[in-house]
Structure 1
Amino acid sequence: MSPTELPLVCLPFAGSGAGFYRAWNVAPPGLKVVPLQLPGREELFLEDPFTDASEAAAALAPRILELVGREAPFALFGHSLGAVLAYELARELGGRSGLRHLFVSGSPGPGSGRERRATGLDDEEFLARVGEFAGYRHAAFDDPDLRDLLLPLLRADVAMHEDYVPASDTPLPLPVTSLRGAEDGLVSRTQAEEWRSTTGASFDYRELPGSHMYLVDSPEVLLATVAQVLSDGGAAPADPDRGGSPCS
C-alpha cells in the first residue's frame, strides 16, 4: 500500500462479505479500499458468524490494526449493518489507532430500531421482507441449494442488526459523514441525519443517486464522494473544544 493512499476499511452489509468490496477497482488517487472480512462467509465460511455488534467490534479491531498499521491514518465505511459495525469499531478503536473519519451509509442513527422486522419469519417471508428492506433479491436465493447454504448467515446478520443496541451514546471525537441514496425508501433523510448526534466533531450528510443499495450500481460515485469529503478536510481530528470525548 502506497504511503500516499489513505485506507478506507469497508464493512459488509447483511449477508455479504469482503468479496463485494474486493471487486471495487475504481478508487480515485489517494484512496485505497481495504475490505474487512467477517466470519461465516467466503474464506471464513466455516467460522461462526457474529451475533452481537459490540462483540464483533472487539474481535475485529485488532484485525483492522493488522491491515492498516497501528499508527497509520485510515477511515471506516459501512453500509446498513456495516454502518453500525463501523460505528462500534470507531468506539472500540478509540485513541489506539489512526482512525480519522467514519462514513456510515444507508442507515438510521444507531439509537433507532427498525419498526418492521424480518427475524422470526419463515424462510419465504424472511427473504421477502429482507428483499423489501434492501430493494432487491439476490439471485442466489432462488437456487434451493444456495439458499440453504446462505440463509443461516443472512439470518444471523439480520438478527444482529435488528437486535442492535449501541454500547454508548457518548459522541465520537472524529468527523462522521452519513451517506444515503436519494431514492432510498427504507432510510429517510431525517433518519440518515440522526448520525449528527454521534459526533462531537464535524458532521456531513451526502445524498447520492440511487435507492437503498445505490453502492451496488455506482461504487465509483461513492468513492469519489468519500475522497472529496476527505480532501475537503473531513479527515481532520476533532476539536477538543467541541465537546468530543475519548472513545470507550
Structure 2
Amino acid sequence: MKPTVLICLPFAGAGASFFRKWRRSAPAGLTILAVQLPGREERFAEPAHTDVGSAAAALCPALVPQLDGAGRVVLFGHSLGAELAYELTWRLVERGVAVDRLVVSGAPGPRDRGFERVGHLDDDGFIDGLRRVTGYVHGALDHPGMREIVLPVLRADNRMHESYVSEHDGPLPVPITSVRGRRDELVSAAEARQWSAETDAGFRYAEVDGGHMYLTDSPGSVLATVVGHDA
C-alpha cells in the first residue's frame, strides 16, 4: 500500500479520540489523522460549530501543512462526518491538495434531505430522537452531571446535520467510495448510492457487516475497506 494519510471526521457527538484508537489497527504505511472539532475533548472550551460549511472552512488551514509530503490523502467521515468530509474535500482541492479519495459512510447523498428532524424537541425528546435517527447516543447522557456538558455539543452537531444542503453546482473531481453497514436501518442502499452523482472521477459502493454504527465494532475491517485499494 502506498503511504496514506487518512483524515477522519467525527460523527455527531464524537471526538477525535474515537479515531485515534484506530491507530492500533492501522496497517503499515497508514497514518490516521483524527480531526478534532471545537467543543469537545481538549477543545471543550471553544464554541461548537453549527454549520457544516463554516466548520470545514475553519478546519482546512490547519490541515494543509500537515499534508505536505504525504503520499495518498484519503478522507473518511461517518454520518455527520460524511458531510464534513465532503465539504472539507472541496476546500482541500481548492487549495491545491491532491486528494486521492473521499470515503463517506452511513450517509445519504448531500442533496436529498428527507429525514426526521429532532432539534426543536426538549432535552428528553431530543435524546430519544437521536436514538431513532442516529442509532447511537453518547454514554455520558446517562449521567445527569455529564448530560449538561454533552448536550450543547450534540445539539450543535444536530443543527449542522439538519441545516446542511450541498450548494456545489458541479461534481467533485475526486473519486468517492460510499460504505454502508448491511443491516443499517437508517440509511438505505439506494440512499448510500446517491453519492455517485457527486463525482466525475469514479464511484464505488461497499457494504460491511453490521448496522448503522458498524464502525464501532471492528476497526480493522473498516480500515481494510477504506484503504484497501488505490484511487
Report TM bin, short chain. Answer: over 0.9
Q: Which residue of 2 aligns with 1:168?
A: 168
Q: Which residue of 2 aligns with 1:23?
A: 21
Q: Which residue of 2 aligns with 1:190?
A: 190
Distance in 1 separating the partners of 2:115 and 2:18: 28
Q: Is the 8 A contact 1:70 1:98 kept in 2?
A: no
Distance in 1 separating the partners of 2:207 and 2:153: 30
Counting matched residue pairs gives: 229
Q: Is the 8 A contact 1:114 1:162 kept in 2?
A: no
Give the alignment's Cα RMSD to 1 decimal. Answer: 1.6
Runs of 4+ in 1 over 4 A off after TM superposition: none
1:157-179 per-residue CA deviation (whole Å, 9 max, x = no partner) reads 01110110113131011110000
Q: Is the 8 A contact 1:71 1:97 kept in 2?
A: no
Counterpart of 1:190 in 2: which secondary structure?
helix
Q: Which residue of 2 aligns with 1:49?
A: 48
Letter in 2 for 1:132: R
1:10-35 per-residue CA deviation (whole Å, 9 max, x = no partner) reads 00001111011011110122222110
Distance in 2 separating the partners of 1:94 and 1:139: 36
Give structure 2 stretches of 5+ with no counterpart.
none
Q: CA deviation at 1:73?
A: 3.4
Counterpart of 1:229 in 2: which secondary structure?
coil
Letter in 2 for 1:92: R
Distance in 2 separating the partners of 1:137 and 1:35: 20
Q: Which residue of 2 aligns with 1:6?
A: 4
Change (3 A) 1:114 1:48: farther
Distance in 2 separating the partners of 1:73 and 1:229: 11
Distance in 2 separating the partners of 1:137 and 1:159: 16
Distance in 2 separating the partners of 1:200 and 1:193: 14
Distance in 1 separating the partners of 2:166 and 2:88: 11
Q: Is the 8 A contact 1:72 1:97 kept in 2?
A: no
Counterpart of 2:228 in 1: which secondary structure?
helix
Distance in 1 separating the partners of 2:229 and 2:187: 22
Counterpart of 1:10 in 2: which secondary structure?
strand
Q: Which residue of 1 aligns with 2:110?
A: 110
Q: Which residue of 2 aligns with 1:243?
A: none
Q: Is the 8 A contact 2:5 2:70 kept in 1?
A: no
Question: Map of 1:34-183 to 2, 5 A cutoff?
Answer: 34-69=33-68, 73-95=72-94, 96-183=96-183
Q: Which residue of 2 aligns with 1:242?
A: none
Q: CA deviation at 1:57?
A: 1.2
Normalising by structure 1, report the TM-score.
0.88
1:151-204 per-residue CA deviation (whole Å, 9 max, x = no partner) reads 000000011101101131310111100001100000000000000000001100
Identity of aligned residues (%): 48
Distance in 2 separating the partners of 1:223 and 1:207: 13
1:52-86 per-residue CA deviation (whole Å, 9 max, x = no partner) reads 11111111111221322277531100000010011
Is 2:202 the partner of 1:205?
A: no
Letter in 1 for 2:223: L
